[in-house]
Amino acid sequence: MLQHGYWIADKDKMPKPILEKIPVSNVSANSTGRVYDTANCTADIDEIPAGASFFWFFTYDEIHHVLKGEAEITYSLASTSHTVKKVLNVKQGDFYIAPLGSRLTWKVSPAGPLKLFSVAIPGLPLSTPSRSEIARQAGR
């Protein structure tokens, strides 16, 4: 059975739901990658290189907190059938929401990397690549 926000994936590649105990993760300030993964939510810390530009389409709701850096985000929302594009500038300390169906393109400042803490609700299939991996591949 697929939950809201999932795309088709093998059942054994889906994270397990929180059933008996609330898990705790301790993450250092220098961490990147997936830091928490259940069917309820997935938390990532991504570091996108300075000057990078990349696109992401959201098949789930996600909250972002900018831990470091600055970026210009061009986005469109499903509610406008992606016919209206808007620009949002984010910097260290900002929170924003990328709703289900939104399309975002980040242009990271050349002054330094963009470090994002993100929480996706519900969780993502374990095979989903991180934004850090996508951005590194795009930069090649």
Q: Give the three-state DSSP class for 88.
A: strand
Residue pair 125/9 in contact by the 8 Å Cβ criterion: yes
Residue range 33-138, CATH number: 2.60.120.10
pLDDT band at 90 (very low <50, low <70, confident <90, very high): very high
Residue pair 66/37 in contact by the 8 Å Cβ criterion: no
4, 116, 119, 96: which is closest to 49 by C-alpha? 116
Dmax (CA) of the chain? 45
Q: Write the pLDDT tens digit of every residue in 43-61.
A: 889 999 999 998 988 888 9
Phi, psi of 86 (to 5 degrees): -130, 160
Q: What is the DSSP letter of 64?
A: E
Q: Lowest-confidence range among 36-40, 46-50, 84-88, 117-121?
A: 36-40
100 residue type, one letter: L
Residue 10 has pLDDT above 60, yes or no: no
Give the pLDDT of residue 12: 59
What pTM value is reported for the model? 0.76
Q: Where are the domains of the chain?
A: 33-138
